[in-house]
Structure 1
């Protein structure tokens, strides 16, 4: 066993921490330790301990540059219309929600002091007092009523309109109290209010160019599809944070370019790094990785209302043609869990563990393609770097198809404009869905007949009625059974193929502290800017 010299003390630990803060390299520190009689193994342990201590101590000041993987000229500062990770990052910085989810998935209060109900149908929201917007206006119940009611206005185009529709009454009780009545009981309301779209804006807001919120940062510049610059809010209502003076956020769609920007020090956070890039990061003391497996997935969508998806046998054939294990091991380099064609991952307590993934069976796939009369017909699959790892997944499916005479053509299109021009529109295309905390939110957004993001145009009256019933079920056993059955319906009836739940890997500078996993997705559920800091 390697021993540390008996004269090595906690005071010397503190000295190492101080040297790390001053920018000493790992090599310099090890040389110093070894010259003091500390063996290499013990020195490495000391550095790890000191480094962890440095990383865990919040430091105020500094400017951060972070890069996501996709952006669009349709980027918005309107929380109701947010649809990309870049939108979510900005919304989390400039606005606040009534509630938020911590790293354990537990509901915490943010702008609300409490969200309570006796029957899960009529809710009372008590607000924190003394909170101000960036323009100096004091937060009141009027702002909450206005913010929530916007989602019910079809003209607004809210991405959570179908979820918000259950709120049949949203009214002011007094300046700091709001009453929300639901069409039916829903015990998930405090969790629903933590979604990025339910950020609170000032009463009467129509201009979203300035992002006038209560958030930790004030918007200094916003160029859709280009970048955003934020500066610290000096009047932020929380006792802790933000620690950064400012941060800039933009997209670098090319994965290798994003990683190289991190390695060169041009950025301090590279979001959603492709598993193929892990080798670029190996042995690099200047970077670390943050891994979150919360239910993010890239899926192959086949629209059931268009050819070739209108032929049930084509959809069935494609489900047998997707080699999930190869995608998990080769495409995602093991940073994933095998999926079973429905959106509720194993990270969720309502996940159905008895629903086995469809086996890879090219012969069965061939049988169904022949039955559909499509074997040999050229079928385009639209993929893009905007949908993480979709190009590689498409290649795996294409190669499997070529072995049985199925002519699947990979159409790789640019990231810019992918979500507005191809997603939800092309007959066969890939999507990328961020984690959501409850099955009801996933089903409402993606699978109900009126879902705004119904990727395969799946429509089932039975599914719709079960979704409403499960939402109000206070009996956990009954609710779980219904959610399990609904997952089976999606896996067997919808045209969405979900081969794996992807572990999101954010690569960050070793100088970045405070980043944690979050059930709402990578980059700390997109709220990283408020909680991280930079060590000198």
Structure 2
């Protein structure tokens, strides 16, 4: 390499650290024989490669409600998940860009006794936002918070197998399960399980908003805006590059798009795929697409009539033209769903048979088996459920006519959707971000007593297998159990999985990042901790 190129590379390193301006770098590059375009590209790459502190990250999020709470057991969506967990808090573990469970607040963890006993070590010197040292007692209080009497925590079912949790000194936590669970370290990464300070009575202090995360809470205006500022005492190095973070609830897709184009936000969650080409044409924007475990769905209440009849549920499943939806609404950004919640990317995933494809003859046959000549159903929708939920329902409405099924599409208010529609109306649009393993997904959404069992589906065999598979260490036997569970959900459940969708967001080209995680949107909802302004 020539001396000139050595100098140019050294200059690029300085530019990456913010110690050389674009103008000075460009002059040196031109003197070295590079074209103006090549010099500009080299500077931009160098500047983006090295994280640097500064700036306010403004997130335009597609969810958020006036009923949002600081109680982590009640975090419903990516708004509270991103602002109150990924930005404000830490769980014991997190899922990395390779899909592995690694330490978040925990410095290390290990299991023994057939994965029944789990030991987590906390880092010395970690403090809460109020300056209080983080101790094992805080972890104990945080976990017990989800099993208090009358709790509606979404993590209750996840922690149901926990027989005991105790502090072993100041920095060691020991959790004992009723049965082995090789995937328990993944469970501990759930965004409903941030570590909170313990009160004097041993309960968790959730109401103050004091946590351990990269940013501390300045203002929380539910359903509107959350403001946070960098935690100067964050225990992780090489993280939290922004000075401040603002999370804005902008549920209308057009409003989010306009805000991004106008430079009012830096990151937009959930693009309108129909106008994606217009965003791509803007040289100041970047489309960020990530394929993971997410699925956009409709759910049927299996306890309401006539949906309590599995033949009726399956007739409905055959009445929606999913391929048409994938092409027209999602513009092929995803894959057709088959009424199984386990993504093909997840270990032990299977594709149950027969496939639930659009089949009017099969739908009519199943209705006849249920003693019905025709059927009318109400389907509740709102774009906060998923972008395209309304248009998807309209395609469904048309395709269902040939099946003897009349689909009445009810457009519900966006602001109150999660409180008044989801888990309350017989059929409604919703979404799941998915989970990185079978046990976690099934335990959260389909176990009998799961707080988020939005289909109200209770299958005895499924629940027996859920417990048995969790403790089975023979992977061949475990795979067979999970395969049967996926088949049961497909055949008998109330899930209508329209598509496994990609996360398709957009952001200003001034934002930079490293490898990104796919377990949740926005880099595992950790965008504020992991990204930076170039």
TM-score normalised by length of structure 1: 0.91
Identify the residue that residue 184 of structure 1 maps to in structure 2.
Answer: 179
Cα 1:74–1:64 change in 2 (3 A) is same
Cα 1:515–1:68 change in 2 (3 A) is farther
TM-aligned CA deviation for residue 436 of structure 1: 1.3
Identify the residue that residue 157 of structure 1 maps to in structure 2.
Answer: 152
Residue 325 of structure 1, aligned match among 301, 323, 326: 323
TM-aligned CA deviation for residue 486 of structure 1: 0.5
Identify the residue that residue 395 of structure 1 maps to in structure 2.
Answer: 394
Gaps of 5+ in 1: 1-5
Q: Distance in 1 between matches of 2:123 and 2:260?
A: 39
Q: Distance in 1 between matches of 2:118 and 2:100?
A: 19
Q: How many residues align?
A: 519
Identify the residue that residue 198 of structure 2 maps to in structure 1.
Answer: 203
The 5 Å alignment of 1:333-348 reads 333-348=331-346
Residue 68 of structure 1, aligned match among 32, 36, 61: 61
Identify the residue that residue 468 of structure 1 maps to in structure 2.
Answer: 467
Identify the residue that residue 311 of structure 2 maps to in structure 1.
Answer: 313
Q: For structure 1, which segment, 145-154 or 130-139, has the greater mean C-alpha deviation from structure 2 after superposition? A: 145-154
Per-residue Cα deviation, 1:8-56 (whole angstroms, up to 9, x for no partner) = 957567579959989989xxx9xx98xx8859xxx4x775554333222
Work out whether residues 308 and 427 of structure 1, in 8 Å CA contact, stay in contact via their aligned partners in 2.
no
Q: Distance in 1 between matches of 2:236 and 2:521?
A: 23
- Computed over aligned residues only, the root mean square deviation of the Cα atoms, in angstroms, reads 2.6
TM-aligned CA deviation for residue 307 of structure 1: 2.2
Identify the residue that residue 264 of structure 2 maps to in structure 1.
Answer: 266
Work out whether residues 275 and 332 of structure 1, in 8 Å CA contact, stay in contact via their aligned partners in 2.
yes
Cα 1:118–1:209 change in 2 (3 A) is closer
Secondary structure class of the residue paired with 1:196: coil
Work out whether residues 17 and 51 of structure 1, in 8 Å CA contact, stay in contact via their aligned partners in 2.
no
The 5 Å alignment of 1:129-528 reads 129-204=124-199, 208-353=206-351, 355=353, 357-372=355-370, 377-388=375-386, 389-514=388-513, 516-528=515-527
Work out whether residues 72 and 416 of structure 1, in 8 Å CA contact, stay in contact via their aligned partners in 2.
yes
Work out whether residues 16 and 47 of structure 1, in 8 Å CA contact, stay in contact via their aligned partners in 2.
no
Work out whether residues 130 and 210 of structure 2, in 8 Å CA contact, stay in contact via their aligned partners in 1.
yes
Q: Distance in 2 between matches of 1:525 and 1:52?
A: 24
TM-aligned CA deviation for residue 363 of structure 1: 2.3
Secondary structure class of the residue paired with 1:294: strand
Q: Distance in 2 between matches of 1:20 and 1:475?
A: 50
Cα 1:51–1:480 change in 2 (3 A) is farther
Identify the residue that residue 122 of structure 2 maps to in structure 1.
Answer: 127
Work out whether residues 58 and 246 of structure 2, in 8 Å CA contact, stay in contact via their aligned partners in 1.
yes
TM-aligned CA deviation for residue 58 of structure 1: 0.4
Work out whether residues 65 and 223 of structure 2, in 8 Å CA contact, stay in contact via their aligned partners in 1.
yes
Gaps of 5+ in 2: none
Q: Distance in 1 between matches of 2:287 and 2:146?
A: 36
Work out whether residues 272 and 522 of structure 1, in 8 Å CA contact, stay in contact via their aligned partners in 2.
no
Q: For structure 1, which segment, 271-280 or 173-182, has the greater mean C-alpha deviation from structure 2 after superposition? A: 271-280
Cα 1:174–1:23 change in 2 (3 A) is same
Identify the residue that residue 72 of structure 2 maps to in structure 1.
Answer: 79
TM-aligned CA deviation for residue 304 of structure 1: 1.6
TM-aligned CA deviation for residue 144 of structure 1: 0.8
Cα 1:12–1:453 change in 2 (3 A) is same
Work out whether residues 340 and 352 of structure 2, in 8 Å CA contact, stay in contact via their aligned partners in 1.
no
Cα 1:185–1:38 change in 2 (3 A) is same
Cα 1:487–1:60 change in 2 (3 A) is same
Secondary structure class of the residue paired with 2:344: coil
Identify the residue that residue 81 of structure 2 maps to in structure 1.
Answer: 88
Per-residue Cα deviation, 1:337-387 (whole angstroms, up to 9, x for no partner) = 222111110111121146463121122223333554555554211011111
Q: Distance in 2 between matches of 1:17 and 1:113?
A: 33
Q: Distance in 1 between matches of 2:16 and 2:145?
A: 52
TM-aligned CA deviation for residue 422 of structure 1: 0.6
